Amino acid sequence: MIKGDGGMVTFVKLRNFKSFGKIEFDLKKTMKKAKNFVAIYGENGSGKTNFIESIRLLVINIMAYMNYCNLPQFRENISKNSELNKKISLEDIKNLIKQIQGNDFNEELKNSRMRDCNEPTELEYGFRYIGNDEKEHDAVYKISFIDHIISEELRCWTGKQSGIMFNVKSDENGNISCKFNRNMIKNKVLYDEIKEIIQQFWGKFSLLSILFNIVASKNKKYSNDNCSIHLIDFLHAITAINVMSKGISTQTYYQHGISGMLFELNKGNIPESELDNLIRSEKVLCQLLTQTYSDIKFVEYEITRIDDRYIEYTLMLDKMIAGKVRRISIDEESFGTNQLLQVLAPLISSLNGMTVFIDEIDTGIHDILCRNIIDAIRENITGQLIITTHHTAPLKYLDPCEAYIIDIDCVGNKEAVCLSQFGLQKTHNPSDMYMSGKFGGVPIMDPIDTDMVIEAINMTDEEMSINRNEVMKLLEEQNEKTSEDDYNEE
């Protein structure tokens, strides 16, 4: 079994990925140390979410083959546990199955491509992690794809030096060539098994994902005896990544419980074996929420047994309302409080050695509350916390090396610029300077002419008729083209 050891991300290079033609995020504090905390700023549409999505794609990549292999067992468990099914809608079950199907990863690859681009998409990730020898090592993982993977390489510590652990690529005819470090797989039977899986599945799944599944599904002794300990060290490191993007948390299978907290803090279903995580979460939330909100006096989970294995839980708050402490469920609380609960679990994970990426951490959360939480977390991070935000107040107290701006030039090229490059002095106010456009990364626009907007709303019948005719002509041309394409296909 693999357990996360807290590898840190030192850089991310993206090429032809979503809205990025070419960009690099250098997250190194020194040549030998990664930054524990980073806040990324930029105007709407600058690519902050796409950067976080590049990390989410890495996590999905790691888990893809394991999810594919576990799909039959997942379906069997769902069908067996009829009582639990009553608590999960059919749509939820369909979505869960879709998320873990192998084809879903290929859809992720297609959706990650830059529009109207004929060149491959290339992703490169740098890591720093502690190996079995208790020394720090660097690793670089590269993957290139179109609608499927076309090349992949891992460089990491191989024993005496850093070198290629594996390199796999395919030519235009689909022929696959592999290069392995000679010590990567010591057992010939296992080596032949991996080679066979590559021939069947590589391109649809990565070799990184295949190796992760093999090591994670074997017992520790078998893995250590038959696989390179340096490969296992790297796989340990990359399992400690948690990504929250578009309100959805994505993490590897073995992260669940690393921080000792529930995956969903507001409500959900858990096996009874995770009761300790529920108790710990309850104690943590009671401390945090009663200190953060003056009107919340107590917090606890209301639990109900579903069957002999599963427990349903809902967070309840004792809250001062109109001069009296009243008990309400988390469903009755504000969007902002629910949003805060969504980000608390990954935030706490960063205090426990995990690498956490959160997109737009300030969504729905009051500026002062957001600042206080970030300030409290930031000084005690043992892992890594990287956020995107529009909240500028933290710029006043962040170290300039912790703040990045995604700047866009006049032709749409983007650059991730660290504020430490601007030579800021103690007398400078980074927040005001950012808002005034000194660092880039803010919207530059002319005043909005509302008269023109009103004029568009109040179009005359004649103007509307002209525009309607143009639209109908365009639709007719599209119908003719579709009919012609269908005829050619037949």
pLDDT tens per residue across span 237-270: 888 888 988 767 776 654 444 457 787 899 988 8
Range name among 67-76, 292-301, 416-425 with the lowest pLDDT average: 67-76
What is the bridge-based pairing of β-strands 33-34 and 28-30?
A: antiparallel
Residue-wise over 368-397: b if at least 16 C-beta within 10 A, else e?
eebbebbeebbeebebbbbbbbebbebbee
Residue 404 and residue 374 in contact, taking contact as beta carbons nearer than 8 Å: no
Higher-pLDDT residue of 489 and 462 is 462
> Which residue, among 99, 119, 115, has the nearest Cα to 107 in the 3D structure?
99
Indicate the residue type of 221: K
Looking at residue 102, its pLDDT comes to 45
d(CA 120, CA 142): 13
d(CA 208, CA 141): 9
d(CA 235, CA 210): 11
Residue 360 and residue 48 in contact, taking contact as beta carbons nearer than 8 Å: yes
pLDDT tens per residue across span 123-137: 999 999 998 888 999
Examine the pLDDT at 429 and tell me if it is beyond 80.
no
Looking at residue 96, its pLDDT comes to 56
d(CA 294, CA 366): 14
d(CA 164, CA 139): 10
Query: 32: Cβ–Cβ under 8 A, 6 or more apart, which residues?
Result: 128, 136
> Which residue, among 240, 19, 37, has the nearest Cα to 127 in the 3D structure?
240
Q: Which backbone phi and psi does 397 adopt, to 5 degrees?
A: -120, -5
Task: Give how far Cα 318 sits from Cα of 297, 335, 345, Å.
Answer: 6, 17, 21
Say which residue the tokens 């000194």 belong to. Answer: 438
Examine the pLDDT at 475 and tell me if it is beyond 80.
yes
Average pLDDT over residues 311-322: 94
pLDDT tens per residue across span 268-310: 888 888 899 899 999 999 998 998 899 999 999 999 998 888 8
Helix (H) or strand (E) holding 56: helix 48-80
CA 294 to chain CA centroid, Å, is 33
Q: How many CB atoms lie within 10 A of CB 174?
A: 9
Examine the pLDDT at 348 and tell me if it is beyond 90.
no
d(CA 179, CA 167): 5
Residue 122 and residue 16 in contact, taking contact as beta carbons nearer than 8 Å: yes
Average pLDDT over residues 431-450: 74
Q: Which backbone phi and psi does 240 adopt, to 5 degrees?
A: -100, 40
Using only the alpha carbons of the chain, give its radius of gyration.
Answer: 25
Average pLDDT over residues 475-486: 77
Backbone dihedral region for residue 441 (phi beyond 0: left; psi -120 to 50: alpha; all else: beta): left
> Which residue, among 137, 11, 3, 29, has the nearest Cα to 381 in the 3D structure?
29
Q: Strand runs (DSSP E) across 246-346, as ranges?
A: 248-251, 267-271, 296-305, 310-321, 324-329
In this prediction the pTM is 0.85
Q: Strand runs (DSSP E) across 368-487, as ranges?
A: 384-388, 403-408, 414-418
Task: Give how far Cα 331 sits from Cα of 252, 282, 290, Å.
Answer: 28, 16, 18
Q: How many CB atoms lie within 10 A of CB 336?
A: 14
Residue 29 and residue 418 in contact, taking contact as beta carbons nearer than 8 Å: no
Indicate the residue type of 162: S
Looking at residue 404, its pLDDT comes to 94
Give percent of the chain above pLDDT 70: 88
Residue-wise over 85-96: b if at least 16 C-beta within 10 A, else e?
eeeeeeeeeeee
Beta bridge partners of 409: none
Maximum CA extent, the chain: 80
Task: Give how far Cα 426 sits from Cα of 265, 277, 396, Å.
Answer: 40, 44, 10
Residue 106 and residue 148 in contact, taking contact as beta carbons nearer than 8 Å: yes
Question: Mean of the per-residue pLDDT values for the chain?
Answer: 85
Sign of CA dihedral 270, 331, 338, 50: positive
d(CA 268, CA 282): 14
d(CA 148, CA 178): 17
Per-residue DSSP letters for 180-235?
A: E-TTSB--HHHHHHHHHHHHHHBTTB-HHHHHHHHHHHS-HHHHHHHB-HHHHHHH
